Structure 1
Amino acid sequence: MRRTRPAAALLAAFLAALALPTAARAEIVRVGYWSSGVSLGFGAVLETGKYMEKEGLTVEYVKFPDVNAPTKAMAAGAIDFAIGASAGTAFSVIADGLPLSIVLASQVADLDFVVLEDSPIRTMADLRTKKIGTSPAGSATAVITAAILETNYGIKAGDYQGVPGNDPRLAQFLAQKDIDAAALRTVTIALLPDMKLRKLGSFREEWRKITKSDAPPVLGVGLMRNAWMKENPDGPAKVVAAMRKAYEFGRSDKDAVARALREAANLNETDARAYAALWDSIYTVRMEPADVASIRQAFEVYKSVGAVKGELPASALVTAPYEASKAVR
């Protein structure tokens, strides 16, 4: 009896696989998010609730310790979708021509400028010459801080000292009086009930002065690799549908959000509930015309303070996955 050569057998198997219906082959997506800050809560709910899997996707979650790392990983082709890529970094890499697309507004910059209760600083204008704690350079938080200070108060980058760090570190610096003020996420402030802080202003209020619009500043965006979108034409809508369903679940069941945070992030009961209570104000999953306009306006604001260069191509903001996701039940 004649034996089939291994190469011939492999070729036959390959051709047979190609003959299978597309739906029978699982769409694999690598999803990345920052394992701290705002991304943590949404990532925990998305992952523990298996929302991507429920849409028929085979998913690999990749967590990063740095706020800008997901965007860098996207640029290197290491992941396919970032649930909350820093808007500033996303703008920069897309303006540089990398084949990535913004498919969602996913995180709102819900931060406050705060000082210690006994600080002599009384107004935002008093921040000139001061040490201000904010997220690392290149992050959306750092860029929005710079835009607010320069546009609303004439305080340019050289008029103050920016001190980078994650929120817990900045809170520590503030408590030790190593910095004069900090831009902290409201979720962080909620987790510091014993720290006596005084609010100088909020990102939402200050952004409204810049844009003359009620649209909140976008902190993070859903960023997707163009090559993955082309290779998996039905995949982007499934990814966005999973994001939308996870968001609505979080809005409706804060107890479950807190439970996911306890399990995924080892938060205690009090901190998990405080975080969950802010879900509606720190997350969004939208790409309506108003959101597209807000993102484009944000790019122009970032550009005006030198945080990004070049232009944001019309093709960079893709609404088709969001619109198609509305038909996914």
Structure 2
Amino acid sequence: MKASGRVLAIVAAVLGIAGTTTASRAADVLRIGEGPFITGGGFLVADEKGYFKKLGITIEKRMFIDGQQAVPALIAGELDLTFMTANASLFNSIARGAPLVVVLDRGNNKAGRGYTVINVSKPMAEAGIKTAADLGKLKGKKIGVSGTGSINQYVFSLALQKAGLDPRKDVTWVLNVPQPDLMKMLGQNQVDATDLAYQFGFFAEKNGWGPMIATGDKIDPDGPIGVYATRQALIREKRDVLVRFAMAYLQGAKEFNAAAAAPDQHPEIVDILARTTALQKPETVKAIAPFWSYTNEDGVPNVASIMKMQDYWADYYDFVEKKVPADRLFDLSIAKEAAARLEKEKPFGK
């Protein structure tokens, strides 16, 4: 082989190695859709404490004020994984062929850890609505929620049914209004009641706009708040990266859950949540504990509760056009493998 040929061969070999290294590094990058909500505490803790980096993952975050806004970016391949709520539009998107699949729990209304809350206006409270059992007094009234087919409308509809009303015809829904606006509308008597994330319900009560009367865990125990979804193809293409992501996330979730139960014993976690969510102040984070939601520490979403929600939207409201089977909605293998590896390998020494 001539010298020039040998040089070209060496260059080619080096470029080949470099190309492999670049591809390897690219495979360890995850583009995540996230939001400034305390229900994402497991992710926020893991990110701030460097757990993803420890497992060789670089996180690139894009922030969204609503998980549904991230879905087009996920489908288009601009995101690898995103938070979202289990709502009617998710079921419809998958039924129409969107290549999405739910892989991890991101918060639920476990008993004692409810994240959604019903507030009523001051006039309604003065009229005798003190608990969920009194919601029959809302017949003919206006109920505000942030989205059609949302988890908030779902929880409030169940509460109305339990109080003897038909939520399809006995109340007027004020729909698709951002939650910060809803709590103000409550104070201005533009809506008579609303279902909010706990921090907004807390602010509404604190500002005298209307008291909290029931949390979501009392109405729909273990009901879903949020999930993580990815594209089906990514499970094949980046499976190990997704598993390592889930391992770091589950470690963060364990610490998040512990802090929710006893925030004074976990000041570092409280400070992280204050800095990375819309709550901003450690005192506020502690004030709403333990109502941060609960993240399943095995990572597995509450499948039965989510399927029950799909049935409700399809059979009762006709919001879901075609039901999707559980094996199309979920891939639980990522969570199960991550939990097993986390227990076996103990990469965080805990």
TM superposition score category, shorter chain reference: 0.7 to 0.9
Q: Deviations over 1:3-52 (max 9, x none)?
A: 8999x8886455335767997775211111123x4446445323322332
Distance apart, 1:320 and its partner CA: 0.8
State the secondary structure of the residue aligned to 1:90.
helix
The alignment's TM-score, normalised by the length of structure 2, stands at 0.77
Distance apart, 1:156 and its partner CA: 0.2
CA distance in 2, matches of 1:198, 1:205: 16
CA distance in 2, matches of 1:39, 1:232: 25
1:166 matched to 2:178: yes
State the secondary structure of the residue aligned to 2:311.
helix
Distance apart, 1:132 and its partner CA: 1.3
1:319 matched to 2:332: yes
Match of 1:273 in 2: 286
Match of 2:310 in 1: 299
Compute the RMSD of aligned alpha carbons.
3.3
Match of 2:96 in 1: 96
CA distance in 2, matches of 1:301, 1:169: 27
Relative distance call for 1:167 and 1:19 in structure 2 (3 A) is: closer
Question: Given that residues 229 and 235 in structure 1 are in contact (C-alpha distance below 8 angstroms), is that contact kept between their aligned partners in structure 2?
Answer: no
CA distance in 2, matches of 1:159, 1:273: 35
Gaps of 5+ in 2: 110-114
Relative distance call for 1:125 and 1:158 in structure 2 (3 A) is: closer
Match of 1:58 in 2: 58
CA distance in 1, matches of 2:24, 2:121: 57
CA distance in 2, matches of 1:298, 1:105: 15
Q: Deviations over 1:239-287 (max 9, x none)?
A: 22122111111123432232113323471232132245433x3443545
Relative distance call for 1:228 and 1:116 in structure 2 (3 A) is: same
Match of 1:48 in 2: 48
CA distance in 2, matches of 1:93, 1:164: 18
Matched AA of 1:205: K
Question: Given that residues 143 and 171 in structure 2 are in contact (C-alpha distance below 8 angstroms), is that contact kept between their aligned partners in structure 1?
Answer: no
Distance apart, 1:149 and its partner CA: 3.9
Match of 1:32 in 2: 33
CA distance in 2, matches of 1:14, 1:225: 31
Q: Deviations over 1:283-312 (max 9, x none)?
A: 435455x82222222221222222222122
- Structure whose residues are more often strand by fraction: 1
Aligned residues: 317
State the secondary structure of the residue aligned to 2:225.
strand
- Mapping 1:148-187, distance limit 5 Å: 148-149=159-160, 153-156=165-168, 159-187=171-199
State the secondary structure of the residue aligned to 1:223.
strand
Identity of aligned residues (%): 20
State the secondary structure of the residue aligned to 1:164.
coil
The alignment's TM-score, normalised by the length of structure 1, stands at 0.82
Gaps of 5+ in 1: 208-214
State the secondary structure of the residue aligned to 2:196.
strand
CA distance in 1, matches of 2:15, 2:318: 51
State the secondary structure of the residue aligned to 1:87.
coil
Match of 1:210 in 2: none
| Residue number among 225, 241, 253 corresponding to 1:219 in the alignment | 225
Distance apart, 1:128 and its partner CA: 2.8
